[in-house]
Amino acid sequence: MEDNSKTAFAEMFRQRTKKFVVDNIKFFRTLPPTEEAKIIGRQLLRSSSSVGANYRAACRARSQAEFHAKLSIVVEEADEALFWMEVLIDAGVVTESSLSILADEASQILKIASASRKTVSKNNDAQ
């Protein structure tokens, strides 16, 4: 991949992870006013906001090792966000359909970040 296409992809993914955060904030505002919804919702907000913040930090990494570390956090937090979404659904706090778009986006972000992390690991092993 050329540097220009890498830069374009990184910017697109940075915007995508930021939108993921904003979409989760908007979803949080729709949760029922129960204690469990707010507690689990806050956990979802923390993990989803960490996805955007850590990808942004990864884009500013000073080394491949730092990039890999930040990308690992993105993977971990995207997976955690999916977990909290599943909990909200399984506990009957929200319907599956109300979270389907967000859950799909979390899954896609997780897959992309995991694949990127794997590529970085392979490139580091080859050096």
Q: For 78-101, what is each residue's pLDDT tens digit?
A: 999 999 999 999 999 999 999 999
CB atoms within 10 A of CB 45: 18
Give the residues of the chain that fall short of pLDDT 50: 1
Positive/negative CA dihedral, 63, 4, 112, 92? positive
Locate tokens 């050096």: which residue?
Answer: 127
What whole-number distance in Å separates Cα of residue 16 and Cα of residue 41?
21
Q: How much is the pLDDT for 6? A: 87
- Tell me the residue range of the domain where 84 lies: 3-126
Q: So what's the pLDDT on residue 126?
A: 59
pLDDT at 3: 76
Residue 30 belongs to domain with CATH number:
1.20.1440.60
Of 75, 57, 78, which is closest to residue 66 (Cα–Cα)?
A: 57
pTM recorded for the entire structure: 0.92
HSE (side-chain half, CA atoms, 13 Å) at 114: 10
Cβ contacts of residue 59 below 8 Å, gap of 6+? 10, 14
Task: State residue 34 phi and psi, 5-degree precision.
Answer: -95, 160
Task: Name the domain count of the chain.
Answer: 1
Q: Are 50 and 73 in contact (CB under 8 A)?
A: yes
